[in-house]
Amino acid sequence: MKARLAVVSGVVVLSYLLLALEGVTVDRLVIEDGPVEMAGALGLGVTAAVFLFAAVRAWRSPEWRMRAPAFVALGLLFFLGAGEEISWGQRLFGWGTPEALAQVNVQQETNLHNLAFMKGWLDAGRLFNLFTFGFVLVLPLAARAAPSLAARLERLVPIPPLVLAVPFIVNQVASKAVPALFEKGYTGRFDFVQCVTELKETNLSILFVLVAFALLKAVPSSRPAASAAVLPTSMPHA
C-alpha cells in the first residue's frame, strides 16, 4: 500500500510539470472540455459509480446495511460533480442554456457552480476542498483520536483509511510549490492560477477513485461462497 501511494504521490507532483510546456500546449490541455477537465469529470464519474455499487453491496450485507445510505449520498454527490464539471454535456452536445438559468449563471451555462451567489465560502472549488480534507483527513483523524466515536460513526458512515490522505496532502503542497517555478515563463492565454486550479481539482477527482475502491473493498461481498464439490472416495461397484 505504502509503495503504491508513493508512486501515486509522485505522479501527482509530476502532473504539475505540464505547466512547464509551451503556452499553446497548456491552453489545449486546460481549455473547457479539454483533456484535463474531461479527466476530472471521468474521475468523478467513476468514483460515483463505485460508491453506488458499494451502496448495493452494503445493503445486501446486514453488518453494513446502515452505511448504505451514506454510500448512496456519496455516489450522488460525485455524480453531481461529474455532471457539473462538463456543464451536463452542454458544450459536447451543443444545446442551449435555459433562459431562467442563463440570467443567474455568470457564464450563462447549464450548471450550478457558476451561479452568481456561488462565491466566497460558497465557491464550488472551496467547498470541494473542504469536503475533500474533511472526508479523507479530518474524519479518519477524529476516528483514530476517539475510538468510541469511531465505533458509532462507522455504523453509519464509511471512514477512509488515514494513509489515503497522503497523496491528497501531496497534491495540496505541490499545487502551491511546484507551479511557482513555471509562472514567470508561462505564455498561455488562460490565467495561470486557473490552470493550476484545474490541475489540482483534476488530481483530486482522480485520487477519489482510489478512496472509493478502498471503501468498496472493505464492504463484504454478498455472493455466497461456492460449496466445494464432494468427490467420491471410491469407485462405485459394478
The domain spans of the chain are 9-218
Q: What is the pLDDT of residue 89?
A: 80
For the chain, the straight-line distance linking the first and the last C-alpha, in angstroms and rounded, comes to 58
| Predicted TM-score (pTM) of this structure | 0.86
- Cα angle 27-31-32, degrees, rounded to a multiple of 5: 175
Q: Which of 39, 38, 58 is nearest to 50 (CA)?
A: 58
pLDDT at 43: 97
Residue type, 210: L
What HEC string does the chain produce?
Answer: CHHHHHHHHHHHHHHHHHHHCCHHHHHHHHCCCCHHHHHHHHHHHHHHHHHHHHHHHHHCCCCCHHHHHHHHHHHHHHHHHHHHHCHHHHHHHCCCCCHHHHCCECCCCCCCCCECCCCHHHCHHHHHHHHHHHHHHHHHHHHHHCHHHHHHHCCCCCCCCHHHHHHHHHHHHHHHHCHHHCCCCCCCCCCHHHHHHHHHHHHHHHHHHHHHHHHHHHCCCCCCCCCCCCCCCCCCCC
Give the model's pLDDT for residue 97: 79
Q: Which three cell numbers stand for residue 152?
A: 458509532
The rounded average pLDDT for each run of 10 residues, N- to C-terminus, in the chain (238 residues) is 90 94 93 92 97 97 95 97 86 78 78 75 86 95 88 90 96 92 90 93 97 96 52 44
What pLDDT score was predicted for residue 191? 92
Smallest CA-to-CA distance from 182 within 12, 22, 13 is with 22
Q: Give the per-residue pLDDT at 223.
A: 58
pLDDT (0 to 100) of residue 105: 77
Dist CA 187 CA 110 (whole Å): 30
Q: State the burial class of residue 103 (Cβ atoms within 10 Å of its Cβ: 0-12, 13-18, 19+).
A: exposed
What is the structure's pLDDT at 222? 63
Give every CB contact of residue 23 below 8 A, 6+ residues apart in sequence.
186, 187, 188, 189
